[in-house]
Structure formats: structure tokens, C-alpha cells
Structure 1
Amino acid sequence: MISRELVKETVHEDTNEYRKLANITFNKTSKLFSYDNLVSDPFIDPLPYCMEAQRLFELYQNHAGRRQIETLLENYVDSMQAVKIGRGHFFFVPRDFAARLQVFEDFVEMLEEHNQLKRPDRDPLEVNSIYVVDDAKQRKKMTAAFYRSVRREIAEYEERVTHLIQSGSQSPKIMDRWVMRIQGLEEKKRNYENILKRELTDLDEEFTSLRYLSDELRIRAAGLRVHQKAA
């Protein structure tokens, strides 16, 4: 059971007065939402508040929240090998992912259409794409943005993988996933070398360190699988 109380707070100069007006409960087994012990009050009818709580809870159950949506969008942007440029939500997406970018734009438009947060001062969800001119000046800017973006990713990967190793993880599947993510990051680097028409040698040292960690994960995962089969 999830249980909450509907409480009226009366503000006084020295201390506030609290009075319970109702109990609100949700039974996780039966999926029933209920309210009881409603108290008569000369100024407030507790029933509409209980009904509003039920409406909002049902909305919460049947819809995705902001954090879920942000995670979904961030993962999709990452899947397009996007590179963050400047402040805010500005990304460079290689033209090989133009079809997926269109899906992304359509999805954001659909999110705005079905958004349940209706406030007059709320900025709408919008996404715009602009083609970037392919010239030497632009490639130089994109190279600097790529270095910044990927160095942050490498630092995060090193931190997460190092923690995985030091904590003595016993999950080969988790290790395999991080090995694949490291391989994906190296593939991203190779793709951008083709896009930018230059070798990104300034990242060689960082990727060498990352490969050592990846090899360590492979060895540990293989050893754990042998041990699990023997057991």
C-alpha cells in the first residue's frame, strides 16, 4: 500500500496549525486508488482534492516523465554519433544519419503535440536542423568541438570502467557492454576522421589508455565465464 495524507495548513504568526482532512491510498496489488476518513471542514471540501490526486496519479502511471524523455532523447542523439557544439542543446550530426535525424525531429514534434504540461509561460519543445557548409574553416571548428566532446566521453568511460574493475564486478554482461561502448567510441573517431579529412592524433594517448581498460575487461569477463561454467 502507498499511503498519503491530505493536510490543511493554517499559517499563524508564531506557529502553523496542521489538520488532516483525508487519507489517500493506492493498493499496488489490486491497482485500486481510494480515499477515506474525509473530515468535514467549514472552508475546504477535501473530496475535490482527493479526486485531483487520483487524476494526477493516473496521469503519472500512464505517461513518461521529463527525466525519462530526456534520457531517451540523449541516447538517440548519441546513437547518431552527434558531437555537442557550444552551449545549450546544439549538436553536429554526420550526414550519414540524416534519415535518423528526421525521425528524431518527428518524435520531438509528437512529444510537443501530446505534452500534458500546459502552462502559458512554457516554452514549446522544438528541434531545428541546419546544413553545415563543408569547408576547411568549418572542419577546423568541428575538429576542436570533436576533441572537447570525445575527451569528456573518454574521461567518463575511464571513470566508469575503473570503478567496475576496482569494485570487483562479477557480471561478464556488464563488462561486455562497456567493451562494446569503447569499440563504438573508436568507430566514431574513425568516422569523424573521414568527415573532417584529417587524422585525430591528439586523442591517441587517451584511446591507448582506454584500450588497456577494455582489454582488462575482456580478460576478466572471460575468466568469470570459465569460473561460472566450472561451478
Structure 2
Amino acid sequence: MIYCRNIYKNYRTGKIDKAVLRGVEFTINPRDRIGLLGRNGAGKSTLIRLIGGVEMPTAGRVVRKMSCSWPLGFTGGFQGSLTGYDNARFIARIYDKPYSEMRAFVEDFTELGSQLHMPVKLYSSGMRARLAFALSLAIEFECYLIDEVIMVGDQNFQQKCREQFFEKREDRALLLASHSLSTVQKYCNKAVVLNDGIATLYEDVGEAISIYEAL
């Protein structure tokens, strides 16, 4: 399980502290597939970064009792001067996974070919997303964090993403921040609506979508 316990997050802009999250509290259980809904600027990406450990909360804490991916859609963890292969080698060492297996999966999943020999700083946003997806899927996390971007590239690659996340890993937990209500409705069994820094968890995805649309 992953517990979000009374999380607050403030950012200082000039002389003013802006409260983005105010007392967020909910739990991600094994096999939960939670859609994260909120208007632009509501704090969806901030919450996902906090859960993924990319940032620390101003107050409160995140307790992780299962392995958790970095936020897919957040590519700040790449070393830009290293190639796609070198980044894969680095991730393989961190998570103690054989590099040969990691390399084979990345080559097959990303379909980037010789571009994996290029420094990541030269990649387009779509290429970075492909690499981030491949590296995250290669580790086999118990919970995946996906920030906005769920499908990138052509239809063939999009189908591969659907198969990996929603079929082959249907037993994993998932937190998906998305403006695509149809995607949330189809693939999620719960939803969190973020509004004015407050997070409300709904067991009924349809009810959550109705609340979100009313905002």
C-alpha cells in the first residue's frame, strides 16, 4: 500500500507562499487503478511527484509499502549527456537488473533503433516518453505513476502501451493523472478529484467524473 498522510505542499513565489495541496489523505491499495482528476494547476503533477519521491511535502508524509515507479511523463531523471543505452545501464544498476535484459526490452519496446546511441538531450519529448515508459516497465514495479501522458507515438506503439499497462499488468496498482475522461472511465476503478488543494477519493468513477465536470 501507499499512504498519503495529511500532505501539504507550498511553493514560495516572491514573498508569498502558495498552497498547492492542503491536507491530502488517501490510500493506494494493491490492484487499485486510480484516476487523478483536476483542472490545470490543481496540483495533479505535484501530488504524483510527491508520491514518487521526486519532491518532498511541506508537511505530512508519504508511506510506501510497495515498490513505486518514478512519474511517467516526468523525464527530469535522465542524464541528458548520456545516451539512451547509458541511461538504461544506469537504471539497471540501481535496480539490480541484468543490463542485457534491460537493453533487449528497451530496444523492442521503444522502437528507437540507432537513436538509442544518441544523447538523451537531443531526444524529442515523444522519444523521451518512449524511453521513460520502457525503463519503467522493465523494472516491474508494484505501482505505476503516470502523469498526463499515457499514449505517445503511432497507433502501434499506443497499442503496446495499452497491452503493457492494462492487460499484462492488470494486477498492479496505478495512479493516472489524465484529462481524458474516457480513459479514466475505461481503465480505472476509483478516482481522486483535486480541487482547491483538497483531494476527495471516490469509489464510483462515474460520480468522480460528474463532480470534475461540474468544476
TM norm structure 2:
0.24
**As a proportion of its length, which structure holds more helix?**
1
TM superposition score normalised by structure 1:
0.23
Instruction: State the structure with more CA Rg.
Output: 1
